[in-house]
Structure 1
Amino acid sequence: MTPGTLLAVCRVHELLPTTDNTGVTAIDKRPVAGPVKVHGLGLSGDIQASRKHHGGVSKAVYAYSQDDADYWAEELGTAIRPGLFGENLRISGMPVSEAVIGERWQIGDSTVLEVTCPRTPCRNFAVRMKQPRWVLRFAQAGRTGTYLRVIRNGSITAGDPVTVIARPEHGITSGDVFRGLTPEQAGVLSAAAAAGKVKPSPEILKVLRTLQARETAGVTAPAPVR
């Protein structure tokens, strides 16, 4: 597989005030120079104001592709600089929003990350972007980027290659999860999890339980991550 390239490594620049219960948001990420250490909860020197929604082990790192950023630059008529969407990693040459759940990326010499679930746009993101109906527009475009868990700690630097070193055969992508898994897709993902071929994040486990309950009740509509 042809590797992608890590264009920028971004971490929080300053906490911004919000009107929610947290009171602040760490969405203001900006590129940093030089190597950055990566550990189980994300990048050294980075924080998430609310790990319930944006952090923790299964959402330790958030990646966004340059192709998706270019799409939004054309739509909005302005440059989408690395970190503007709150991402930690800006990557070129890879379909980040359609990465397979459980897919593993090696960045640089040693760091290994695993795709877990899509990003769900929130109110703080809308406030930051100052665009009409931003949450709906972002969701409808389906260019969500993806969260990752840290499998192997290490250091990463802008310019590092990003190589897919493992890809589960189930084929369900982060984008599929965001759009809403069908019962058939949920069955495939559940079977892969039962066989130990993928470790679903808590967010995806919730979706799978919801779909199972709907199937029991005779409801067949997809269940998205929201």
Structure 2
Amino acid sequence: MTGKVISVNLAVVTEAEWAGDASGRSGIDKRPAAGRVPIRFDGVVGDFIAERAHHGGPDQAVYAYATEDAEWWAAELDRAVPPGRFGENLTTHGVDVTGAVIGEQWAIGSALLQVTKPRTPCRTFAGVWGVPDLIKRFAARAAPGAYLRVLREGEVGADDRVEVRDRPAHGVTIGEVFRALHGEPELLPRLLDAPGLPEPIREKVRRRLGVASGPR
């Protein structure tokens, strides 16, 4: 599969009552950046992450969302949904983000990224969009976008190709993980077949299934 990057987006710091950070600031509102943007192991250079207890870190260094899913929301909400509106660093086209397999690798520009987990909707979504029930609707849609870890640092920019270099055989997708954790518990056993899934999620799955923890 080969798609492309529509834009690389960086945060515009917003101060609001709905912001999750204790300081009342949020970085969910992101806008397309000019030129090429460095991506490091700990995230996208120039971005802003307010609530680091829940966002950022190696397993959530980069967030990708598909234009195809954004277009669905534009029709659903009858409003324009420009790149970065979901808080994504990478807005993609022609990439099946929901169908991405946990652990698959994306070569973009000079960087190499790896799919780790879906995004969980939080109240900042509802706040920045001004849609009180957006979290519920976002969960029902089950097209959450994908977090990625950085395997090789590099630079990315608009129009860069997104090439899937490796796709694990277990086949557990971003969409399956999201649905398993949000309303389809019958899918939970499948998640333990995905070794690339971050350990906090694997531990949550074990607890829900009542199985012993694996080696740390």
**TM-score normalized with structure 2 length:** 0.89
Q: Equivalent residue for 1:45?
A: 46
**1:11-26 mapped onto 2 (5 Å cutoff):** 11-19=10-18, 20=20, 22=22, 23-26=24-27
Unaligned runs of 5+ in 2: none
- Give unpaired runs (5+ residues) of structure 1: 194-198, 217-226
Q: Counterpart of 1:174 in structure 2: which amino acid?
A: I
2:177 corresponds to which residue? 177
Is 1:148 aligned with 2:148?
A: yes
Q: How far apart, CA to CA, are the structure 1 residues paired with 2:139 and 2:117?
A: 14
Query: What aligned pairs does 1:197-216 form with structure 2 within 5 A after superposition?
Result: 199-213=196-210
Runs of 4+ in 1 over 4 A off after TM superposition: 181-189
- For the residue of structure 2 that corresponds to 1:51, the secondary structure is coil
Which residue pairs with 1:97 in the alignment?
98
Q: How many residues align?
A: 208
Between Structure 1 and Structure 2, the one with more helix by share is 1
Aligned to 2:4: 5
Letter in 2 for 1:210: R
Q: Does the 8 Å contact 2:83/2:91 carry over to 1?
A: yes
Partner letter of residue 204 of structure 2? V
Please give the secondary structure, in 2, of the residue aligned with 1:177.
helix
Residues 16 and 26 of structure 1 are in contact (CA less than 8 Å); yes or no, is this contact kept in structure 2?
A: no
- Counterpart of 1:208, as a letter, is V
Residue identity (%): 45
CA distance in 2, matches of 1:191, 1:137: 28
Helix, strand or coil for the counterpart of 1:209?
helix
- Taking structure 1 as reference, are residues 190 and 143 closer, same or farther at Cα in structure 2, changes over 3 Å only? closer
Who is 2:60 aligned against? 59
| Corresponding residue for residue 158 of structure 1 | 158
Matched residues in 2 for 1:103 and 1:166: separation? 5
Deviation at residue 24 of structure 1 after TM alignment: 1.6
**Partner residue, 1:221:** none
Please tell me whether the aligned partners of residues 65 and 145 of structure 1 are also in contact (alpha carbons under 8 angstroms): yes
Is the CA contact 1:16–1:28 (under 8 Å) kept in the aligned structure 2?
no
Alignment CA distance shift 1:75-1:183 (3 Å): closer
Alpha-carbon deviation of 1:30? 0.6
Instruction: Give 1:209's aligned amino acid.
Output: R
The amino acid across from 1:74 in the alignment is A
| 1:21–1:10 CA distance, 2 compared to 1 (3 A) | closer
